[in-house]
């Protein structure tokens, strides 16, 4: 079987054009999010591909015209051998009309040892490589004792967590690899949560009443919520600096745990004192923290800030955290993902990478976020490992190196084989 596996691995070089063709076909499906609601055709292609390889497929709409696809290939002795989830998202970053691409972002070009097109790095390269590895294993007639589960999900770019829907549907495994952009590093990640801080007055006043609420003797206990939000923003800046001093995590630059005041909305129009102001914040936190913990820390701090202000003490801020979609309800959560370098899945993947790539494995943390946190939160040991780099993700003329794509495909082929042969 070792000889046979070596023969299959060599086919990746021999059939490089087929791998590239698969990637270019995936890129040609226009699946940017936003606007989203456009992945059905691409997901039908993935489902058919999996069906052709003998998988049983489960396809369901997470949103209209945005279905998830899960393919399950039952192992020949799954009760005794370990199972694997391979996960990736089919949606890609949006493309603005004013972006200066050399070519149409959805008409992929192969040039100078790279494939160029929206999603090449983030992350249709990872999907293509993993699918091609599976195809070669199946064509060679290699049976896997453990279960292999392939998830092509929607919504990652806009926080719609198609992966969370897979977890809710009951899909689980002994290990998971999210084949998202990592430059072939094995990675965990910090987390992200968005939230709204709302300051609201119990009363509404005409703008002519401003003198009575700001000058001595006016006797009107009132305030502009826009001005009071300045106290809140100042409080957030104090907390952000405190976190930068008191918190750290290996692999992250100090102060990576940021609180970004991203959007502010307030007031009715110029004839009113602003009676409501809403601040939309984005919070990055470390892999050893949870979004529930972070939200609690911010709320406790801001309520103390409010208690120091006479008006805010009587009109304290309220909070709305997270959300299921940046499109539908203007909010998102990406749970953090902490990985154990001593987990057998991590060690097996690292060993395969070193043998195939002939270089030391880098185990670190991603400076961005993926759906991997949802798998980890569901109790599935998970890593991020995929081709492409973040310099290309979301970029004009996005591209992935063909050489790196082939290395990734070889690693995934051998890892799938090795892991699904591991005994429980």
Residue after which a domain boundary falls, among 321, 348, 375: 321
Domain stop point among 321, 345, 368: 321
What is the number of domains present in the chain? 2
CA dihedral 304, 306, 309, 313 (to 10 degrees): -100
Cα–Cα–Cα angle for 269, 274, 275, rounded to 5 degrees: 120
* Residue 63 tokens, joined: 């949103």
CA distance 254 to 252: 6
Query: How confident is the model over 235-260, as pLDDT tens digits?
Result: 999 999 999 999 999 999 999 999 99
Tens-digit pLDDT profile for residues 269-301: 999 999 999 999 999 999 999 999 999 999 999
How far apart, in Å, are the Cα atoms of 244 and each of 239, 262, 310?
A: 9, 19, 29
Question: Do 350 and 315 share a domain, yes or no?
Answer: no
Tally the residues of the chain: 424
User: Do 70 and 19 share a domain, yes or no?
Assistant: yes
> Quick one: 107 and 208 in the same domain?
no
Nearest to 279 by CA among 193, 198, 192: 198
Co-location of 410 and 304 in the same domain: no
Shared domain check, 174 and 278: no
d(CA 331, CA 334) in angstroms, rounded, equals 11
What is the chain's pLDDT, residue by residue, as a tens digit (424 residues)? 565 899 999 999 999 999 999 999 999 999 999 999 999 999 999 999 999 999 999 999 999 999 999 999 999 999 999 999 999 999 999 999 999 999 999 999 999 999 999 999 999 999 999 999 999 999 999 999 999 999 999 999 999 999 999 999 999 999 999 999 999 999 999 999 999 999 999 999 999 999 999 999 999 999 999 999 999 999 999 999 999 999 999 999 999 999 999 999 999 999 999 999 999 999 999 999 999 999 999 999 999 999 999 999 999 999 999 999 999 999 999 999 999 999 999 999 999 999 999 999 999 999 999 999 999 999 999 999 999 999 999 999 999 999 999 999 999 999 999 999 999 9
CATH number at residue 306: 3.30.70.360
Q: Are 127 and 408 in contact (CB under 8 A)?
A: no
Same domain for 197 and 174:
no
What is the C-alpha to C-alpha distance for residues 87 and 413, in angstroms, rounded to an integer?
A: 15
d(CA 61, CA 47): 13
CA distance 1 to 377: 36
Q: How far is CA 28 from the centre of its chain?
A: 22
Catalytically active residues are 91, 156
Does 228 fall in a domain?
yes
- Same structural domain for residues 113 and 55? yes
SS3 of residue 417 by DSSP = helix
Domain of 296 in residue numbering reads as 191-321
Q: pTM for the complete prediction?
A: 0.95
Note whether 274 and 228 are same-domain residues: yes
Query: Cis bond leading into 34, ω under 30°?
Result: yes
């Amino acid at each position: 079987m070792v000889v046979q596996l070596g023969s299959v691995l060599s086919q990746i070089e021999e059939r490089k054009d087929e791998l590239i063709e698969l990637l270019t076909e995936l890129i040609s499906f226009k699946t940017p999010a936003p606007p989203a609601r456009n992945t059905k055709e691409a997901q039908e292609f993935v489902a058919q591909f999996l069906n052709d390889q003998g998988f049983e497929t489960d396809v369901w709409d997470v949103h209209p015209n945005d279905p998830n696809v899960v393919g399950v290939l039952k192992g020949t002795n799954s009760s005794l051998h370990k199972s694997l989830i391979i996960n990736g998202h089919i949606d890609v970053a949006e493309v603005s009309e004013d972006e200066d691409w050399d070519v149409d972002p959805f008409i992929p070009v192969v040039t100078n040892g790279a494939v160029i097109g929206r999603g090449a790095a983030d992350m249709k390269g990872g999907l293509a490589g993993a699918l091609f590895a599976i195809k070669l294993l199946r064509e060679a007639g290699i049976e896997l004792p453990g279960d292999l589960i392939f998830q092509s999900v929607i919504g990652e770019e806009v926080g719609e967590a198609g992966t969370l829907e897979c977890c809710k549907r009951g899909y689980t495994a002994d290990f998971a690899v999210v084949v998202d952009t990592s430059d072939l590093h094995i990675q965990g990640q910090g987390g992200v949560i968005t939230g709204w801080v709302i300051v609201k007055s119990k009363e509404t006043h005409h703008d002519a009443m401003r003198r009575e609420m700001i000058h001595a003797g006016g006797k009107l206990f009132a305030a502009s919520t826009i001005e009071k939000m300045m106290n809140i923003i100042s409080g957030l800046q104090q907390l952000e600096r405190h976190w930068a001093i008191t918190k750290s995590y290996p692999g992250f630059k100090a102060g990576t745990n940021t609180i970004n005041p991203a959007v502010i909305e307030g007031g009715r129009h110029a004839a009113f004192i602003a009676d409501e102001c809403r601040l939309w914040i984005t919070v990055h936190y470390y892999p050893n923290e949870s979004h529930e913990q972070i939200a609690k820390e911010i709320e406790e701090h801001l309520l103390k800030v409010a208690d120091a202000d006479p008006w805010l003490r009587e009109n304290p801020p309220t909070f709305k955290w997270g959300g299921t979609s940046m499109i539908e309800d203007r909010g998102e959560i990406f749970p953090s993902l902490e990985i154990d370098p001593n987990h057998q899945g991590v060690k097996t993947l690292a060993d395969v990478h070193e043998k195939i790539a002939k270089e030391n494995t880098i185990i670190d943390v991603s400076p961005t976020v993926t759906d991997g946190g949802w798998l980890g939160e569901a109790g599935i040991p998970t890593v991020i490992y995929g081709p492409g780099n973040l310099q290309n993700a979301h970029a004009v003329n996005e591209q992935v190196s063909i050489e790196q794509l082939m290395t990734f495909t070889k690693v995934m082929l051998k890892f799938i084989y090795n892991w699904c042969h591991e005994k429980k």
